[in-house]
Amino acid sequence: MRHVLLSSFAVVLLAGAAVAQTAPLGRPPEVAGPRTGAATLSYLRMIKVLPDLTAAQKEPLKQAADAADAELFVQSQALMQKIQKIQTTPPAAGNEDVEPEDMQKVMMERHAARQKVMETEFKAFMVEQTRTQGEYDAKVAATLTPAQRLTWESYKLERQVDGLLAAAAPTEEQKVKIAGLVKEATQAIVAAPDAAAANVLRGQTVKKIMLQVFSDEQAAKYLPAFNPAQDDAVQSGGALRGPGK
């Protein structure tokens, strides 16, 4: 029943993923300004979670965050310009003699074609964003000590799971099971060979919770934000998009 229910609601949440680049992170007024980027928010949260960070660690972490935010911003601006061009470019000639009763069909076809082009551009944009996020994550992993990274990855995954599954209102027994999955996944994430592999593990953790812990009713509440057909790395939300970073 669960698999049928999930597969029947499998959708590609492209627009939602774009908004999620920074929105889930929040903007704590005590640490972030109105234009603070996702990587900088990650760095500011890291300082709070890891009070033992040394000055020698903070400097390269801050530089990595600044560089990632600059690149993410350029990518976002480029996408906006492409989308604007697609939306404002007049349709090609050839439909001047369309009968009035066929005009709605022609307009719908134009809209579908435009949407397809925008979807292609957005997918390319997400590849760029994921690459940049992975590079930032790799720099963080290389700078933190093993103990610090374990604490940081645990914090991120716990917050990501809490944020993603809040609508399902898990029971106390389920919370214990989820905590066990998160602990197991954190160990695997720290041992992952690279940021891409770690990102896949995050996505797999979300799927395990959905399929192994939740009831059909809980899964149904979460379905608007869950697509079991998606790649595990995409389902995880990406390195910078989770609430913990």
- Encode pLDDT of 190-244 as tens digits: 998 888 888 889 888 988 888 888 887 777 776 555 554 555 554 554 433 333 3
User: Which has more pLDDT, 208 or 8?
Assistant: 208
Euclidean distance between CA atoms 40 and 37, whole angstroms: 5
Quote the CA–CA distance of 194 and 137 in Å, as a whole number: 9
Residue-wise pLDDT for 161-194, tens only, equals 887 677 778 889 998 999 999 999 999 999 988 8
Quote the pLDDT of residue 92: 64
Signed CA dihedral, 123, 128, 133, 138: sign only: positive
Report the predicted TM-score, pTM, of the whole model to 2 decimal places: 0.67
- Residue 179's alpha-carbon distances to 67, 200, 202, 237, in angstroms, are 34, 18, 14, 19
Domain layout of the chain by residue ranges = 2-23+37-93+105-235
